[in-house]
Structure 1
Amino acid sequence: MTRPRQTRKVTLRDVADRAGVATSTASLVFSGRGPVAQATADRVRAAAADLGYAGPDPLASSLRQGRSGTVAVIVEERLLDAFRDPFALTVLDGLAQELDSMGTSMLLMADHADSPDNSLAGHAIDAAIFPLCGRDESPLVDHLVARGIPLVGAGAPLRDEVIHVVIDEHGASASATHHLVDLGHTRLAHVTMPLGAPRPTHLVGRDDIAGTVYADARERALGFLDTAPQGSVVETERADVVQGEVAGRLLLDVAPQDRPTGVVAQSDLLAAGVVRAAESLGLRVPEDVSVTGFDGVDLPWLDARLTTVVQPGEAKGRLLGDLTRRALAGESPASTPFEVRLRVGDTTAPPPAG
């Protein structure tokens, strides 16, 4: 019986031999990671086309290097919510730029309260990044630590194994609050991001805040209360404009003597919602009520330049990527402080007289 003749797989060496170049030169043509004369590159590509060679096998390459070439990027809750948040997008953009420069792909995943701890078990990854603030604990961490995978975060999860980009959330929130106090405000209020499982926007007390599971929201709330102990605090269901407006109405649609003259919000989107609530109630910003935000994102549709705590999202994402690069290179990078600053806009002023 005649057996069918088996065709040997074309290799990079075959292409190099056909083009009359070294295998290393042919490799540079396909990787794009080194200078090769245009005529030589054209000759290599022509030889590859003649032989039907599609390029190096990425799986084989990753196995030789002991790497998958993929980093898991894990965001809190639904991806839809992250993509609606302009600050989250800038962080992810900066991170994507850094990972791209490393030749690393991004596996984007959502991490929510009921995520199974084995949701990454079937994925080959080199590192995992938690680029947005989230819960103190993640069910994924134990699994990732057991696999020896480097972990990088932006303040959460709170584990010794995670290398963090660190922001002084407490101090940043206190600086915004001090700004209003220095302007003469005595009736102050705070609008927080969710502190735990989402609930309808509602008033909370200090005792409700201390044991909550979102470190960034908790520390910003405590920074406010340590500066303005008598201030009111409203926890929102989501950190968006709609819930900011709900919170604003809850605080401002009251008798004038009970109304705060200054509101410190934990995000620019929440602050924009408070501004909208004030305007819908016939109040002027900042003449009747001052409002501050957090993040420093571009809100061209808001007819005001927010006074806000600026944390450059793209730079933060790039730093997360750089820490990941160093960890994968065998270094032991330490958690790194990330500077934020208060930017005074036109939504704050001294309180109204009387």
Structure 2
Amino acid sequence: MSPPRRITLKDLARELGVSTATVSNAFNRPDQLSPALRERILGEAKRLGYRGPDAKARSLRTGRSRIIAVMLAESLTYSLNDPVASEFLSGVAEVLDARGHTLLLLSSRQSPAQMPGSASMADGFIVYGLMPSLAALESLPPQAPLVTVDFDIEGRPSVHVADESASYAIARHALQARPQRPAIITLRLTAEPCNGRVTESHTLLPVEHTISRARLAGFHRALDEWGFTPGDVPVWNIEENTHEVCMPVLEAILDLPDDERPDLLLCAADRIALTAVTLAEQRGLRVPEDLRLTGFDGIAEGQYRSPRLTTVRQDSVEKGRLAARMILGLTPAADSRLATELIIGESCP
């Protein structure tokens, strides 16, 4: 006995009395249909056992897979747990969902051999984060559309927030309290691994490879205006924005003698600042009386705990939406800078 014939898109369209294009839109472009019509089509498809257009056949026919890959600087586990990265991915997914595209997540920490085969089929790539190395990008199809986020590749459109001006604004606010010993804590600033004090022996990454250079430039501009020699203000670098990696660097700073310990920490990320607050409180240091701190990102945790963090809020969801709209051709693919918001909290009033 021969197996039952698989129902096709044409069969379903005939059964519903609609065009094949309408059925296709229900699966691939839901924004083109009313919710009621799409639910009717999907319900009948389920009843008849139709699972949707064959992605492989469609890819061969149209030359498009409707897959958009996002390559992340960090591991997938870290990125999904990190509030900034997860908000960015939410923005990307929102646009892709509305246009019937599939999101494929990749990590630059994977070797080319570990990349899923579907990555080669992707219609475009969004590359996000502070890349530890650009080597992973060599595995991507060179002809594929590509948008970078938080770093730059010559000839490719990029999405950033106004990092330098935002850092300048928050440092300028913090310096109004006239600290005696300001210090800066950055994230992935140096070409060599450095989880500690940055010295003259270290090589700073190029401006186009890390937003930390732009944030450092903003801090330095404000320090210079307030009479500090930027080169005399100590800079510590953190290799990974996690509590475990931040903690030893911050402990070394906070355990300095009273006359050497900074009384203002300009932090390049909220997670760094929040770790510093926790460790300061464990040592009996009062925030902001003994130590003022600022962050960058505007994550929810920094605004819910006490003392509430003084920070810069960036709209990571909109950053994801914009990158997705660019890669789909819904927005011109051009370098973009999103505005930020200065939030004055209790950690540096």
Q: For residue 315 of structure 2, what is the aligned residue in structure 1?
A: 312
**2:168 pairs with 1:139:** no
Could you give the per-residue CA deviations for residues 200-223 of structure 1, whole angstroms, max 9, x where no partner exists?
631113662534685112332343
Partners of 1:66 and 1:7 lie apart in 2 by 30
Partners of 2:203 and 2:233 lie apart in 1 by 13
Partners of 1:22 and 1:124 lie apart in 2 by 28
Deviation at 1:199, TM superposition (A): 4.7
What amino acid sits opposite 1:153 in the alignment?
T
Q: Is the 8 A contact 2:45 2:51 kept in 1?
A: no
Normalised TM-score (structure 2): 0.83
Q: For residue 226 of structure 2, what is the aligned residue in structure 1?
A: none
Q: For residue 267 of structure 1, what is the aligned residue in structure 2?
A: 269
Q: SS at the partner of 1:109? A: strand
Q: SS at the partner of 2:249? A: helix
What amino acid sits opposite 1:304 in the alignment?
P
What amino acid sits opposite 2:10 in the alignment?
R
Q: For residue 170 of structure 2, what is the aligned residue in structure 1?
A: 176
Q: Flag the 1:143–1:314 CA change in 2: closer, same or farther, 3 A.
A: same
What amino acid sits opposite 2:189 in the alignment?
L
Deviation at 1:303, TM superposition (A): 2.0
Q: % of aligned pairs identical?
A: 30
Q: For residue 334 of structure 1, what is the aligned residue in structure 2?
A: 334
Partners of 1:253 and 1:47 lie apart in 2 by 64
Partners of 1:36 and 1:273 lie apart in 2 by 46
Q: Is the 8 A contact 2:267 2:273 kept in 1?
A: yes
Q: SS at the partner of 1:294? A: coil
Deviation at 1:339, TM superposition (A): 1.0
Deviation at 1:290, TM superposition (A): 0.3
Could you give the per-residue CA deviations for residues 63-97 of structure 1, whole angstroms, max 9, x where no partner exists?
33321010111001322222232111111111111
**2:233 pairs with 1:231:** yes
**2:119 pairs with 1:116:** no
Aligned equivalent of 2:252, options 246, 250, 262: 250
Could you give the per-residue CA deviations for residues 234-278 of structure 1, whole angstroms, max 9, x where no partner exists?
112421234444333222222222121110111111001111121
Normalised TM-score (structure 1): 0.81
Partners of 1:306 and 1:14 lie apart in 2 by 59
Q: For residue 34 of structure 1, what is the aligned residue in structure 2?
A: 33
Q: Is the 8 A contact 1:131 1:317 kept in 2?
A: no
Q: Is the 8 A contact 2:88 2:319 kept in 1?
A: yes
Deviation at 1:190, TM superposition (A): 1.0
What amino acid sits opposite 1:265 in the alignment?
C
Partners of 2:100 and 2:9 lie apart in 1 by 20
Instruction: Point out the more displaced range, 187-196 or 101-110.
Output: 187-196
Q: Is the 8 A contact 2:130 2:188 kept in 1?
A: no
Kindly tell me the number of residue pairs found equivalent between the two proteins. 337
Partners of 1:94 and 1:325 lie apart in 2 by 14
Q: Flag the 1:273–1:221 CA change in 2: closer, same or farther, 3 A.
A: same
Instruction: Point out the more displaced range, 27-36 or 91-100.
Output: 27-36
Q: Is the 8 A contact 2:241 2:272 kept in 1?
A: yes
Deviation at 1:29, TM superposition (A): 5.8
Deviation at 1:161, TM superposition (A): 3.1
What amino acid sits opposite 2:122 in the alignment?
I
Deviation at 1:14, TM superposition (A): 3.5
Q: Is the 8 A contact 2:194 2:238 kept in 1?
A: yes
Aligned equivalent of 2:204, options 204, 210, 213: 210
**2:159 pairs with 1:160:** no
Q: Flag the 1:195–1:27 CA change in 2: closer, same or farther, 3 A.
A: closer
Partners of 2:183 and 2:170 lie apart in 1 by 12
Q: SS at the partner of 1:258? A: coil
Instruction: Point out the more displaced range, 301-310 or 221-230.
Output: 221-230
Question: Structure 1: which 5+ runs fail to align?
Answer: 350-354
Q: For residue 65 of structure 1, what is the aligned residue in structure 2?
A: 62
Aligned equivalent of 1:283, options 285, 288, 294: 285
**2:294 pairs with 1:292:** yes
Q: Flag the 1:25–1:340 CA change in 2: closer, same or farther, 3 A.
A: closer
What amino acid sits opposite 1:219 in the alignment?
A
Question: Structure 2: which 5+ runs fail to align?
Answer: 224-229
Structure of larger gyration radius: 1
What amino acid sits opposite 1:284 in the alignment?
R
Q: Flag the 1:179–1:41 CA change in 2: closer, same or farther, 3 A.
A: closer
What amino acid sits opposite 1:220 in the alignment?
R
Deviation at 1:346, TM superposition (A): 0.6
Deviation at 1:139, TM superposition (A): 2.4
Q: Flag the 1:85–1:68 CA change in 2: closer, same or farther, 3 A.
A: same
